[in-house]
Structures are given as C-alpha cells and as structure tokens.
C-alpha cells in the first residue's frame, strides 16, 4: 500500500497494522468460529469486510444498512458480527491494539438513530406508503 492509501485507511478505520492484528486474533478466537473462512471464502474476504464494517461503525456513524450496501452482505450478518466484536473489544480494551480503538463522540447515538429509522419504516409499511 502507498503512503496515501495507508493514510486514507487510517482515517476511515484506524492503523492498518491494527486491522491485521484484529483479523489474526479473531481468526484464532473461539467466539468468532462461525465467521472463520470456509470453502466459499478461503481468503477471508468476508471476515475482513465484517471487521472493517465494525471499525467504521465505532469510529464514524455507519448504519448496518450502509454496511450491507457497501459490502453486499446482509445487514443482519453485520449486526450479529458487530455485537460479538463489541463484546470482544470491551473485554480486551486494556490490551493493544484493542485499546487504540477510539469511538466517535456520536457513537452512542447510532442505536437511537437506527431505532428511529426502523420506526419510520414500520410506519411507512403500516400506512401503505
């Protein structure tokens, strides 16, 4: 990767070396067994996209629908992975590189905004929009 690409990656997700460390640790963690690369994804691209989506959600306001749109994977899969990722992150927040993840100051508002979106969609469905 060029210096420019590394800088852009760091702005969006954090240091590239941290991403590689997260991926290696997650691959060896029993909590993430269901997301390990299989015959259909031997290179681990799906796992990488799930990790990047989780980092993006923590560092910026990225909804599960946005993550699904960008990765062409189901939003429910992102939500399920993120839930496990967040538990793992909080349990390991005292160790590097996990300690370097800095949530965006608006991080706590994400769930509130998604709930509002879900209610609006439900209202639209119920009112035949």
Tens of pLDDT along 73-117?
A: 888 888 899 889 888 888 887 777 777 777 666 666 666 666 777
Q: Which two tokens stand for residue 93?
A: 């927040």
Contact 51, 19 (CB under 8 A): yes
Q: How many angstroms separate the CA atoms of 25 and 88, rounded?
A: 10
Q: What is the mean pLDDT of the chain?
A: 81
pLDDT of residue 15 exceeding 80:
yes
Closest CA to 57 of 81, 29, 25: 81
Q: How many angstroms separate the CA atoms of 126 and 129, rounded?
A: 8
**Tens-place pLDDT, residues 48-63:** 889 988 888 887 767 8
Instruction: Quote the pTM value.
Output: 0.73
Q: How many angstroms separate the CA atoms of 114 and 79, rounded?
A: 12
Backbone CA torsion sign across 47, 48, 54, 57: negative
């Amino acid at each position: 990767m060029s210096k420019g690409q590394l800088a852009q990656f760091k702005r969006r997700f954090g240091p590239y070396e941290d991403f590689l460390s997260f991926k290696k640790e997650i691959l060896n963690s029993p909590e993430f067994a269901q997301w390990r690369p299989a015959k259909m994804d031997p290179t681990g691209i799906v796992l990488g996209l799930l990790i990047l989506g989780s980092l993006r959600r923590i560092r910026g306001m990225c909804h599960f629908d946005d993550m699904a749109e960008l990765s062409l994977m189901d939003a429910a899969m992102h939500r399920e992975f993120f839930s496990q990722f967040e538990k793992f992150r909080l349990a390991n927040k005292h160790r590097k590189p996990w300690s370097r993840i800095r949530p965006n100051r608006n991080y706590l508002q994400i769930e509130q905004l998604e709930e509002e979106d879900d209610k609006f969609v439900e209202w639209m469905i119920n009112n035949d929009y």
